[in-house]
Structure 1
Amino acid sequence: MTTAPPSVPAVNLENCDREPIHVPGAIQPHGALLAFDASMRVCHASANAAQLLGASAPVLGQALAAAHFEGLAAVHALIRDVAALPATDTEVALQSDEVALNGQRFDLVVHRSGPLLVTELEQRPAGDDDVAAFALRAHRAMDRLKRQSQVDALLALAVRVMRELAGFDRVMAYRFRDDDSGEVVAEDRHEALEPFAGRRYPASDIPAQARRLYLLNTLRLIADVHAQPVPVLGADLQAGALDMSHGVLRSVSPIHIEYLRNMGVGASMSISIVINGRLWGMLACHHRSARRVPYAVRMACDVLAQVLAANVQTLLAREQAEWAEEGAQLRSRLVQGMLHAENTVGGLAALAEPLTKAFNCEAMLLAEEARLFVHGSLPHGQAQALLQWVQAQPMAGSELLAVQDLPHRAPALEAAGAGWCGLLALRLGDAGGWLVLLRREQVETIRWGGKPEKQYTVGPLGPRLTPRGSFDVWLQEVRGTSLPWTEAQRELGRQLLADLSRASAAQMAELNRARTQLLAMLGHDLRDPLQSIAMAAKVLERSEGEDGRSAAGARLGQRIQSSSSRMARLIGQVLDASRLQTGLGLQLQTAEVDLALLLEDLLDEARVAYPGLNLITEVPATLPALADADRVAQLFSNLISNARHHGAPGEAVIVQLSLQGEDVSFEVSNSAPPIPDELLPHLFSAFKRQTQPGSRNRSGLGLGLHIAQAIAQSHGGTLDYTYAEPYVVFSARFPVRPQA
């Protein structure tokens, strides 16, 4: 087994994916390289420099002198011009000229590589003198490219034009996919060659470091895959390896050379298609034998590729603009529908057809609270199971979940087994609503250019990854996936969520205005009639007489009095809840009050109103405090009423008032099962649903505990729930003397 020369880094199994191809330590043999340091001393030189350039070329360690390079003014002027340019890491300017040296014609290319000045002289092939004719053909080609209106047609024309200009046996347009694999989407070739169009190649064929160089140096020529590289020598150990990222003569990775040989390629040229700073695709040129393309021709091809990239970007931007316009129209219809719909599900369901069309999917489900709407051939049971799976997924702060391989993610789901593979779920705010879009399985047959997995073997450089030896078509059938959700579709989903949020906010504002008007009516227009009804009821209740009609009138008066009092309490609770929800808080008028006396009066009223109520009380003789007497009475009444409604029939309600240090402690206990855990987060919420089984307060609004907590908090205290078997206990605690 032969070993690589010391100047060429070994490529083994451990480091092949990190191969430093930008510092290969060698160049291709059809040219020579010299690198100068800041003092214009030669610090790097290719081993063939003297042979190729003649005796006038400077040697390692020698400073550049006027007699070097046969004293050619063009060479010295170009080196001086590039040396005067500022050294930057972001932009490298290559300057070129044509010179005759040592009886040969060269393309002279000079550029900076950090602090060094790299001078490359590339031999011009014979018979390439008709530059004017080439320039005319290139100009015509650019004009033809600009007239294309579709990306596919543009790429098909580009490969034909590039083959005409550069003369290669095969030119392919290679487009990268989201997973960095690439596909040959257009091809122009010699009739004797096997077609490669439609074949795909894995991302590993172009490692990350190669992609970086394709962005830095957009055109790369490998003139002869069978040529032996020429080492680049350094003047001393301090010179280090020369960075050839921008070089035109940089030698080639042994793995890539083997790859090309396996394909039957004798020479290649690649031109990058860069869009928005990203490697979007490439033009790959192959020749069955060695081929040297003059530097000027290559630069014209590079300009042609830049025109191609600009046109591709314009066409993609046009497609994106059309998509954005359609999305904007859909969003406008969505907002209009939401503003006139009673709920989110109703508003979105009316647009199910355009929504599924915009997202290129076959089914959609909507869920909010107890409502579930399904559009498409998805059974209701599968929709419910899908929704439960979506709700269980971690969202990591995102409002959007995109999946294209649902059978692999959730193999137990019946919907996944039924062929639903793509899922785009949008979480509709904090109310637990969901919009889920679904795609069916897209069975894809991939035509790989050879089996994509690389093989471990022993090659000329020792154990390493060896590129594929066969490029026959290898078919792979991919199942269990859908078409991927594009970034444009995800962005439309995010925009829809933002629109829904704004529409919901507008609806909420309208509801708040309506609520304000309703509360004004409750507070003003209803209280006066209720007061009149209550006074009339008292007159009926006090009516005297022995006949049955008077006795019936008294009973009717009692019922009217009871009902009007309950309506007045409900109105008061609604007004209090409204103040709390709008951030106004409860107005307090604090004064000295004896809480023990206040509580005793309330307990007497409860005993009279509910003769069967069993009250066990622990109340001190006196408990003076600084508080709002009406609000504290409301807190006491709400907790006692809550215990009476929810306690077990016939069981006592225990009421305890005491002084604990500097705090008032008020506890109400009633016999009942513990409150279910799922209700605890909303226990003190306003207008909560009545979900406790067997409740005897079905006509309540669910405001009592909400207002009681607010009263305790407004006095600087708390209201808490605990369970001490067999009692449900609500405990209010607040300072005797609240701090200002």
Structure 2
Amino acid sequence: MTQRPLPADTKVDLTNCDREPIHILGNVQGYGCLISTSADLMVNHVSSNCETLLGFDPEAAIGRRMPDLLPEQTVHDLRTKLQISASGSGVARLFGYDVLKTGTLFDISIHISGSSFVFEFEPKAEPRGRDDLSMVQPLIARVRRGETILEAAREAARGLKALSGFDRVMVYRFADDGSGEVIAETCSTGMEPYLGLRYPASDIPQQARALYLRSPLRLIADVNAPVAPILPAESASGEPLDLSLAVTRAVSLIHLEYLRNMGVAASMSVSIIKDGALWGLFACHHRSAHYIDYERRTAIELFAQFFSYELSGLIEARAHADEIAARELHDRLMVRLSSGGDLVDSFDTIAEELGQIVRSDGVAVYSGGKIRMRGATPTGEEFRGLARFLNTAPTGTVYATNNILARYPAAETFGDRAAGLLAVPISRTPRDYIIFFRKEIARSVRWAGNPEKPVEVGPNGIRLTPRKSFDAWNEVVRGTSEPWSDRERRAAEALRVSLIEIVLKLADEANLERQTAAEKQEVLIAELNHRVRNILNLIQGLVSQSKDGASDVASYTSVLDGRIQALARAHDQLTSTDWSACSLRDLIRLEADAYAGTPTGRVEITGDAPLLVPEAFSTLTLVVHELVTNSAKYGALSEPTGQVLIDLRIEEDGTLAIGWTERGGPPVQAPKRRGFGTTIIERTIPFELKGKIETRFKVSGFEADILVPARFVSAADEDTETDTAPAQADDAPVAQLSGNVLVLEDNMVIGLDASDILADAGAEDVRLAASAEEALRLLEEVEVTFAVLDVNLGGHTSLPVAEHLRSKGVPFVLATGYGDVASVLESYPEAPVVKKPFTAESLMREAARAMERD
């Protein structure tokens, strides 16, 4: 079979073989013969060896009907089998059939090729009585014992060697790039092992791979045996006969030369197909001619199909285990991240979990422009450039490469730390990622000959003579990492889905939290506005009402100062509870003192002494505040003879019942307009505590019945109540000042009030400063004998001034509006503290303590 010579400037590569029409080479192997007919059984092609095997002249058979060449019963039986092929099953088989009715048995294959019926006949080489199919199940049972793909492949190679009798059986797996690797092998003694060898993709041309899918088994019984041409070479329409499904089809001269160079005299290839794709091959070699009859080849084909099922089962089982692991990881991540925070903030928490899913040398999270990294990774600046490169990858898919430099040249700067990456996108816009990195691994790849120069031009023209050396050729691969396996990619995809769900969950929670915060802020602003107005009204009322009974300015000032101090103590109780249960009696007394300033007996509390948990205490504070305020403005406490009776009872089921009754005040009418204060009284307890409140506006006085659920209430011991009576002056001496005095206060009004008090106490010159820097400058200019220091000066404190005064031995008093004094002043030098709002008496009492101490 001569060919035109290859042009001198043609690039030499085995990919030239892709152009060779191996399915229409026009020959069959000598171990069988072929007859092709039209639909009405008119012969259109025969192989030249039909005379030797079937006893008729091939040339004379063309154009005659098949019944003229073979016995009538044979034609009848073949037509019946042909019906199986016509039904779409592909190939019909008939084993050990007496075609010529002479006692000579044949194995027969029948299939449809285009518009032709193709019949192939192989003389039965072995006697009948074998049961090849019965051997398949026990061999597959041994394969099924393997727990991994490699274990199953090794057992399958052993089983196929026993079934076929070949010297060498290899399991050959295709890689993503089309190259292949021998992953399992069994061979006879003295044969060089090929286990672990790699073969370039060009060793198996594309059209050969397509044929492996259509025709799973191909036998070459003798690479040196002559072939039998198909007569005529072309049909009347000028088309050669398509032999894609022909079991006796001859093979390419190139492939025969390839096998001879390997020292192989016979070979067999059996496809391993998974999910409709060619996963690999069983490759069988023999050192001498080796024919296997069609019946046994059918059993081998069935064995390969069963192995494909087992392989799919192993892969699916591993995928299922990976899915379970991914779900467990998802659940663990959801639990770990449920407390809030984003992935960057939680990186250290989840890094260990990620390492159990995908093995890597380094991992990084990039989210919202923030980066956290661990292990061998690029620097932050290098990472930002890499993130921009990843943004060019398709959205919503895992991106993996074991050679970053080949795709991203800038990776050269961090190639010593990261050569491969697996990027898991966890958002769409902006692009956020979790990225796994692997270091470079210098690995040796054992190729079956140099893959860069696989062939040389030979005597066959455009067909090329394949490599003649199959000694292992080692290639050291640099700049790459260990490849990312399919399992790791599946795990990364599962991780992507989980993390996107978590990110969306966190985003939803953050949005809900912001929405809730905004709603609370609106309520707080409204409440603050209402409360400020109340405080201003209260101060106005205190100023006007305190004139009653005051005989001079001093007594008026004393009464007014006492009521302001009561208001401050009520505020302290709200902010300084340490989140422990608080006394409801104390709350009522403090509010009554602050808002009413009434003599003993005007507000009478009877019954139990309940304690309220902080949640309920805050709620009751608002309610009591409004009740007392309204009573002071409109009810019983607005009249000198008015009285409020408050009964506190803890019921048997633990519920707190509060009875509020006003008597002796002006006639009461229900309000025509429901203000915010009325809303707090009537709706806060039902809404926040799920309790009840009933109000009655009687002419004789306002009444209310309140029920607080038991879970907010506990009974108090008799000694738990505090003395909430207005503070009285103790026996401490009042300071007498002289010389220069410093007042450090950022509120001008409070500063001027303090200056007046200190001047009245004898200070010759009071210097006022609004900041620590200004105070320190004043201290450099003048000597002072005493100072009053506000603790909180906006965004700063007076600590530097306090430390300077202590170093100079100058006594000072600290003024603060904080309720929790200890936590605020723990960093200050020890000094007396006066709480705001202070009076002249309270300030000078603490001043005396400071001067006595120093």
TM-score range, shorter chain: 0.5 to 0.7
CA contact (8 A) 1:334 1:348 kept: no
CA distance in 1, matches of 2:425, 2:527: 46
Distance 1:109 1:371, change over 3 A: closer
Letter in 2 for 1:39: D
Compute the TM-score of the two structures, normalised by the length of structure 2: 0.58
Counterparts in 2 of 1:147 and 1:506: CA distance versus 1, 3 Å: closer
Cα distance change on mapping 1:163 and 1:499 into 2, 3 Å: closer
Render the CA deviation track for 1:121-163: whole Å, top value 9, x for unaligned: 12333xx226426555444323323333332222222222222
CA–CA distance in structure 2, aligned partners of residues 47 and 225 of structure 1: 19
Q: Distance in 1 between matches of 2:12 and 2:52?
A: 33
- 1:118 counterpart residue number: 118
Q: 2:219 aligns with which of 221, 236, 243?
A: 221
**Alignment-mate amino acid for residue 301 of structure 1:** I
The aligned counterpart of 1:602 is none
Residue 317 (structure 1) shift: 1.7
Query: In the alignment, is the contact (CA less than 8 A) between 2:74 and 2:99 conserved in 1?
Result: no
Change in CA separation of 1:359 and 1:59 when aligned onto 2, cut-off 3 Å? farther
Q: In structure 1, which of residues 145, 148, 161 is the aligned counterpart of residue 146 of structure 2?
A: 148
The equivalent of 1:400 in structure 2 is 398
Rounded Cα–Cα distance in structure 1 between residues aligned with 2:58 and 2:96: 17
Equivalent residue for 1:691?
none
How does 1:319-334 map onto structure 2 within 5 Å?
319-334=318-333
User: For 2:108, what is the secondary structure of its paired residue?
Assistant: strand
Contact 1:340–1:347 (CA<8 Å) still a contact in 2?
no
> Aligned pair in 2 of structure 1 residues 368, 159: CA closer, same or farther (>3 Å)?
closer
Matches within 5 A, 1:77-226: 77-83=77-83, 85-86=85-86, 88=88, 91-101=89-99, 104-125=104-125, 128-129=126-127, 131-132=129-130, 134-226=132-224
Counterpart mapping for 1:46-445 below 5 A:
46-55=47-56, 59-69=60-70, 71=71, 73-83=73-83, 85-86=85-86, 88=88, 91-101=89-99, 104-125=104-125, 128-129=126-127, 131-132=129-130, 134-234=132-232, 236-238=235-237, 240-369=239-368, 371-378=370-377, 382-393=379-390, 394-398=392-396, 400-413=398-411, 416-429=414-427, 430-445=429-444
Amino acid in structure 2 at the alignment position of 1:182: G
Q: Check 1:170–1:511 CA distance in 2 against 1; reply closer, same or farther (3 A cut).
A: closer
- 2:237 counterpart SS class: helix
String of CA shifts for 1:608-653, please: whole Å, max 9, x gaps. xxxxxxxxxxxxxxxxxxxxxxxxxxxxxxxxxxxxxxxxxxxxxx
Deviation at 1:119, TM superposition (A): 0.5
1:553-568 superposed matches below 5 A: none
Partner of 1:572: none
Shift of 1:502: 2.6
Report Cα offsets for 1:326-350 as digits up to 9, x if no partner.
Answer: 2221121112222213222123431
In the other structure, the counterpart of 2:614 is: none
- The answer to whether the 8 A contact 1:349-1:366 is kept is no
The whole-number CA distance in structure 1 between the counterparts of 2:203 and 2:110 is: 31
d(CA) in 1 for partners of 2:523 and 2:380?
A: 49
Answer whether contact 1:425 1:434 (CA < 8 A) is retained: yes
Comparing 166-175 with 294-303, greater Cα deviation is found at 166-175
8 Å contact from structure 1 (residues 446, 476) kept in 2 = yes
User: Which deviations, in whole Å up to 9, do the C-alpha atoms of 1:363-421 show, x marking residues without a partner?
Assistant: 1112334643222244xx72431232222341233453322102334454466331411
* Cα-to-partner distance string for 1:301-352 (whole Å, 9 max, x where unaligned): 1111122222222122222222222222112111222221322212343110
Q: Check the 8 A contact 2:160/2:169 in 1, yes or no.
A: yes
Distance, in Å, in 1 between the alignment partners of 2:539 and 2:450 is: 98
Mark the CA change 1:406 to 1:55 in structure 2 (over 3 Å): closer, same or farther: closer
CA contact (8 A) 2:181 2:198 kept: yes
Q: Secondary structure at the match of 1:260?
A: helix
Structure 1 window deviating more from structure 2 (205-214 vs 167-176): it is 167-176
Q: Deviation of residue 189 (structure 1)?
A: 1.6
- The verdict on how the C-alpha distance between 1:287 and 1:392 changes in structure 2, with shifts beyond 3 A counting, is closer
Which digits, 9 at most, give the CA deviation of each residue in 1:263-284, with x for residues without a partner?
A: 1111111111111112112111
Give unmatched runs, 5+ long, in structure 1.
Answer: 5-10, 544-697, 699-740
Q: 1:121 to 1:12 in 2, by over 3 A?
A: farther
Is contact 1:262-1:468 (8 Å) kept?
yes
Residue number in structure 2 paired with 1:470: 469
In structure 2, relative to structure 1, the CA distance for the partners of 1:514 and 1:60 (3 Å cut) is same
Give distance in 2, aligned partners of 1:416 and 1:310: 44
Name the SS for the 1:313 alignment partner: helix
In structure 2, stretches of 5+ residues that fail to align are 5-10, 544-794, 796-854
Number of residue pairs aligned between Structure 1 and Structure 2 = 537
CA distance in 2, matches of 1:249, 1:504: 60
Q: What is the alpha-carbon distance in structure 2 between the residues aligned to residue 231 and residue 513 of structure 1?
A: 80
SS at match of 1:35: strand
Distance in 2 of aligned mates of 1:455 and 1:118:
37
Shift of 1:476: 0.9
1:439-588 alignment, distance < 5 Å: 439-455=438-454, 457-527=456-526, 529-530=528-529, 533=532
4+ residue runs over 6 A deviation: 11-14, 534-541
Name the SS for the 2:24 alignment partner. coil
Question: Alpha-carbon deviations, 1:466-490, whole Å to 9, x = none?
Answer: 2111101111111111122234433
Q: Secondary structure at the match of 1:159?
A: helix
Cα distance in 1 for residues equivalent to 2:109 and 2:59:
17
Name the Cα RMSD after superposition.
Answer: 3.4
CA positional deviation for 1:455: 4.8
Give 1:532 deviation, angstroms. 6.0
- Secondary structure of the corresponding residue to residue 237 of structure 1: coil
Change (3 A) 1:437 1:371: same
Aligned partners of 2:416 and 2:440 also within 8 Å: no
Alpha-carbon shift at residue 28 of structure 1 (Å): 1.0
CA contact 1:199–1:448 (8 Å) conserved in 2: yes
Give the whole-Å Cα distance in 1 for the aligned partners of 2:308 and 2:523. Answer: 72
Q: 1:305 to 1:131 in 2, by over 3 A?
A: farther
In the TM superposition, residue 225 of structure 1 has moved relative to its aligned partner by 0.7
Distance 1:405 1:458, change over 3 A: closer
Q: State how far apart, in whole Å, the 1-side matches of 2:164 and 2:527 are.
A: 96
Q: Percent identity?
A: 33
Give me the whole-angstrom Cα distance separating, in 1, the residues matched to 2:453 and 2:61: 41
Partner of residue 655, structure 2: none
Q: Is the 8 A contact 1:32 1:46 kept in 2?
A: yes
* Separation in 1, partners of 2:397, 2:12: 45
Counterpart residue identity of residue 173, structure 1: V
> Partners of 2:305 and 2:358 in 1: how far apart?
33
